[in-house]
Amino acid sequence: MNDRVLIEGLEVRTVIGIYDWEREIRQTVRLDLEMAWDISKAAQSDDIADTLDYKAVSKRLITFVESSSFGLIESLAEHCADILLHEFKVPWLKLKMSKPGAVRGSENVAVLIERGRLD
């Protein structure tokens, strides 16, 4: 399947980090998603029911991330991927989880994972 649904630059404030001071504040994480999805049926019907509803995906991830409290972005990214694979039945995804400003002198740090329902 070559079709993709993208969500880029989804920013969410959450508790993330391993240091004591990080556990007391909310920081921004940024998600960039590329999800395999056959859009041909939706292209023909022009009906949201026939596609991957990117608004529903975004709302679900925002709710999850805002209420989470992970030490590592690796863990948060894996849990987000699991939601997409199991709740939304996305067959394959690439997820970039960024933590802007996490390292002094850098604009951003991130992890990039690819997962499929067969992983």
Q: Which of 41, 55, 96, 99 is catalytic?
A: 99
Contacts for 40 with CB less than 8 Å, ≥ 6 apart: 3
99 is catalytic: yes
Q: Look up residue 21 and give its two tokens.
A: 């001071």
Q: Please give the angle made by the CA atoms of 6, 1 and 77, to the nearest 5 degrees.
A: 45
Reduced to 3 DSSP states, what percent helix, strand and coil does the chain have, rounded to the nearest 5?
Answer: 35, 35, 30
Query: Which residues are identified as catalytic?
Result: 99
